[in-house]
Structure 1
């Protein structure tokens, strides 16, 4: 099937944008010679393509081009890393495994790392209290309003101990923020 004139224009416009990008930060650096060079450079030199410096962000092992949504405006790198993921807020005391399973999906463990940031949690949850560092396998989460006062009702929680992130973690006084696919 041949692309329509509109599709060709869109692809050409993206190609032109890619070829105008600088290879590096200094103003003296050159631009990419081809779309392939751009993609290869993004894979090798961009932290958006890998997690923990040794694993690709995507299970498809591909590079990311200029991220954009249907309106044509660019999206944040974090939003691009959540592409294809349904972010779901669980019920009180529910694990992400349970949350995702009830939607006919599975929890995507490596995406918990992306959701485990205050700005992301605050985008999805009310966080009436503060956003606090905590320890536990039930993060990222929000403490329910009727929780005991010493548990900071309304606060959002994230963990600094990333190895604790778990799809099966739960706590009777929190609601999880879950990545499902």
Structure 2
């Protein structure tokens, strides 16, 4: 039979953020070969634990990703926007799509904190709360360099105060002026702080 109608329609979807207002069109849009590649999908874990399996097909990936998306939730009990069915792959620190990141940060105030302050303290000083699930979006060199000087240096580190910038008067062995990100997503925290860093915080 000849195919009738539009294949892989994306009605009600924001193609920059790859988020949609309905689950059905999210899955449909995601299934397009121009947006989702099988070779990448089969490397994605169904859940965070290391024991979790990976997706077997593009359909399984799309059906799963569109249903579950922690980035679309704010303060754990409300959706950030009506576009809360998302299928995008998580970007990494070296290849962030800045336009996509900016779209996901709509409604979020990105604030550079004072030296030694946690993001909880930074956001509270503005009458807001730290949005924990947005920290991973800021934990990327490309993004940090838009808000901080970084002195041309962005280094992988290990600490609950990342993403952050080391203050200029820090001891030399702490790389004054450098931006720091963590490769361990589980370490991202709203309450982390360090006496020689200024945090980059998502507040709402």
Q: Is residue 2:179 matched to residue 1:151?
A: no
Scaled by the length of structure 2, the TM-score of the pair is: 0.61
Change (3 A) 1:100 1:37: closer
Cα distance in 2, alignment partners of residues 126 and 83 from structure 1: 22
Which ranges of structure 2 fall in alignment gaps of 5 or more residues? 1-5, 15-19, 37-46, 49-64, 74-78, 86-97
Please tell me whether the aligned partners of residues 72 and 84 of structure 2 are also in contact (alpha carbons under 8 angstroms).
no
RMSD (Å), alpha carbons: 2.8
| Greater than 6 Å deviation, 4+ residue runs | none
Q: Is residue 2:11 matched to residue 1:35?
A: yes
Q: Which of the numbers 123, 140, 143 marks the counterpart of 1:120?
A: 143
Please tell me whether the aligned partners of residues 115 and 140 of structure 1 are also in contact (alpha carbons under 8 angstroms).
yes
CA shift for structure 1 position 117: 0.3
CA shift for structure 1 position 62: 4.0
Which ranges of structure 1 fall in alignment gaps of 5 or more residues? 1-29, 66-74
Q: Which of the numbers 94, 98, 113 marks the counterpart of 1:90?
A: 113
Q: Which has the higher helix share?
A: 1
Taking the TM superposition and a 5 Å limit, the aligned residue runs for 1:58-69 are: 58-59=72-73, 60=79, 62-63=82-83
Please tell me whether the aligned partners of residues 115 and 196 of structure 2 are also in contact (alpha carbons under 8 angstroms).
yes
Which one has the largest radius of gyration? 1
Q: Deviations 1:61-117 (Å, cap 9, x if unpaired)?
A: 74379xxxxxxxxx8111010000000000000000000000000000000010000
